[in-house]
Amino acid sequence: MSKLAILGRSSGLPRSNEGMRLLFSAVIGVMLGYLFGISFPTVNVTKPLLFREKRTDCILQLHFPSSIISYIEDKDSGITTQTLLNHAWTSANSKKRNNSESNSDEIPKIYVPTNPKGAEGLAPGIVVPETDLYLRRLWGEPSEDLTSQPRYLITFTVGYSQKANIDAAVKKFSENFTIMLFHYDGRTNDWDEFEWSKRAIHVSVRRQTKWWYAKRFLHPDIVAPYDYIFIWDEDLSVQHFNAEAYIKLVRKHGLEISQPGLEPDKGLTWQMTKRLGDQEVHKFVEIMATVFSRDAWRCVWHMIQNDLVHGWGLDFALRRCVEPAHEKIGVVDSQWIIHQVIPSLGNQGTAENGRTPWEGVS
């Protein structure tokens, strides 16, 4: 009986071993299938199916590894599992090696159409489309360079003979203004006698007018930090002018292009720009002491032609840059100046062959 019992208990062993073999074979099969799937290039086996009732063609695509297709097409060729494994291993290593070489040689391509022209290949985070005229130190933390950032820009086109006039004018503008001098006579160092000149920006090109300088050195992307840009002549008396009060009135009346009123009884002035004593502002402006908002200047800068010299007639075209022009272009009467009519740039020429000095400026 004991032998029978032992035989009875051991009779299940073959079944258990057979089950283990089946389980092991299944695991190996899954592993081989996964290995085939990731190792072999795929081919498309397509079979067109026509659904006539819908009048549409549908293409059914079946994806099989190319090695499997070869095996299916030639299943009697004697191919073995070992051969398949060897082929899979070789293909996998080759694919990894090719991917590694490709990744090491390729540089990621960037194209951002919203970047400024010419900078489409740069990452947007490093693009800086605008700059400023703020002076920087040669050492230290850049974040500590600027103790102040002026909000307005005043430019004068000057000759040294008008130094007293310019000195008086500059003192009417607070430290909230960046001072910029365009020198048509080449004398820049002589201005160092004034303390304010040491923090001013000096640009020296001989015998040019303010519009020549403005077109080349006041690009809208350079002066973008400034709310207002003053482009003034050198022969203006500012005894009755206060820059901060002027800015307040410009903001109050929403003027995009403006100028101070001109004293009616002195100098050469247009009737429409003469100061009216009974009001703060009236509409119209000429180009003698013009003040532009940031947005208006961006438009006007593009309108200025490269060969513009004196700018006569430009004031009649300024209305194209603001809308409505009759509301946003005006003269600030309560802050006025006097045009002294001193042709110092004209004196840079030489009188010869019957021509006046200003005709000889070239």
246 and 174 Cβ atoms separated by less than 8 Å: no
Q: Checking DSSP bridges between strand 257-262 and strand 329-339, what pairing results, if any? A: parallel
Q: Is residue 4 part of a domain?
A: no
**Where in the sequence is the domain holding 100, given as residue range(s)?**
31-105
Q: Is residue 16 part of a domain?
A: no
Res 26: pLDDT: 74
Host H or E run for residue 60: strand 56-65
Cβ neighbours around 349 below 10 Å, total? 16
Residue 287 to residue 224: CA distance in whole angstroms: 21
Measuring CA to CA, which residue among 231, 237, 243, 238 is closest to residue 285?
Answer: 231
Choosing from 105, 132, 150, the residue where a domain stops is: 105
Per-residue pLDDT averaged across 173-200, rounded? 96
Helices marked H in 11-64 — which ranges?
13-39
Choosing from 79, 105, 131, the residue where a domain stops is: 105
C-alpha to C-alpha distances, 136 to 53, 143, 167, 175, 189, nearest whole angstrom: 77, 10, 24, 16, 20
Domain total for the chain?
2
Does the pLDDT value for residue 105 go beyond 90? no
Measuring CA to CA, which residue among 212, 231, 209 is closest to residue 288?
Answer: 231
Q: Is residue 3 part of a domain?
A: no
Tell me, yes or no, whether 235 and 160 share the same domain.
yes
Q: In whole angstroms, what separates CA 129 from the centre of its chain?
A: 3
Label residue 258 left, alpha or beta by phi (over 0 means left) and psi (-120 to 50 means alpha): beta
pLDDT category at 97 given cuts 50, 70, 90 is low
Res 285: pLDDT: 73
Per-residue pLDDT averaged across 115-136, rounded? 94
Tell me, yes or no, whether 237 and 156 share the same domain.
yes
Please, what is the average pLDDT of the chain? 78
Lowest mean pLDDT among 34-38, 113-117, 120-124, 182-186: 34-38
Tell me, yes or no, whether 206 and 313 share the same domain.
yes
Host H or E run for residue 62: strand 56-65
pTM > 0.75: yes or no = no
Per-residue pLDDT averaged across 243-272, rounded? 82
Choosing from 81, 105, 129, the residue where a domain stops is: 105
Q: Is residue 169 part of a domain?
A: yes
Max mean pLDDT range (49-58, 105-114, 261-270): 105-114
Q: Checking DSSP bridges between strand 228-232 and strand 152-158, what pairing results, if any? A: parallel
Per-residue pLDDT averaged across 56-82, rounded? 48
